[in-house]
Amino acid sequence: MSQTRRHLEHHPGINPAPFKATIESITDEGVILSDSWCYPKGGGQPGDTGIFQSDGEEFRFGEVSASSHILHPVSSGNLQVGQEVDCVIDVERRNALASMHSAAHILSATANERWGAITVGNQLGVTESRMDLKFENRDEFDANILQDDANHWVNKDAEIMIHEWGRKQIMTDDRVRNRRFVERIIDRIGGSDPRLRMVEIEGIDLCPCAGTHLSSTSPIGDITIGRVQNKGKGTFRIYFEI
């Protein structure tokens, strides 16, 4: 059975509290805990890092990932199955990535709003992130306009909310962007009443997302667009900082 991704219950996804858990197994790839609130890398967002504390010892873990279970890569061999640990997530890194992630939503939505651009890829970083935007007519794109549009929504301090919605609610809401794509995600989940975690930024964005976010937009601070690279096929790769 796949492990529950507890980070999904956490909104805003900042300042994650330390938690206690028991080591369930240790594999070549990492430590699996009885329960984990760590964000596993995915969707362009890097995973959490942090420290296990146990009996006065500390064990740093690297970037958390997930397949069927959430893996915490630890190099030290002193941990034992059954051992209880305090897991302390690197808060500064998580908060920076939640801010970057929230900024990415705004950029993606405003580029779609103004030019009908579709976000076809993104990779977030603590200090710099990038996003690939595919345009119908790439010549219309102007990085300064995108930056101004995005900062308009930052300055509005729009609320960021999480919803658990079913197919009907999602597919009948005109604010949901790229609904054909969203429907494919719903189909993939399957079952009689699949639910999706929808992220809403009041007035500008509504889309499915499993990442970590702020509770409103103003703490993101100024979004600055840097390099813009031509990726061919109507696509630009834009780099941004906050």
Q: How many residues bind Zn ion (CB under 5 A)?
A: 3
- Non-local CB neighbours of 177 within 8 Å, separated by 6+ positions: 109, 112, 205, 206, 207
Q: Which is nearer to Zn ion, 140 or 181 (CB)?
A: 181
Cβ at position 79, least distance to Zn ion in Å: 32
Cβ proximity to Zn ion, 196 vs 199, nearer residue:
199
Q: How does DSSP classify residue 2?
A: P
Helix residue ranges, H only, 126-173: 143-155, 167-171
CA count, 13 A, side-chain hemisphere, 199 = 28
Q: Is 13 in the site for Zn ion (CB under 5 A)?
A: no
SS3 content of the chain, % helix, strand, coil (to 5): 25, 35, 40
Nearest alpha carbon to residue 118 among 235, 239, 224: 235
Q: Per-residue string for binding with Zn ion, 160-199, x by CB under 5 A?
A: ---------------------------------------x
Tell me how many degrees the CA angle 216-220-224 measures, rounded to the nearest 5.
Answer: 140
Least separation in angstroms between CB 105 and Zn ion: 5
User: Which of 29, 181 has the CB closer to Zn ion?
Assistant: 181
Output the smallest distance, CB 211 to Zn ion, in A.
4
Among 209, 223, 225, 242, binds Zn ion (CB under 5 A): 209
Does 201 bind Zn ion (CB under 5 A)? Our answer is no
Residue 211 as a binder of Zn ion (CB under 5 A): the answer is yes
Binding site for Zn ion (CB under 5 A): 199, 209, 211
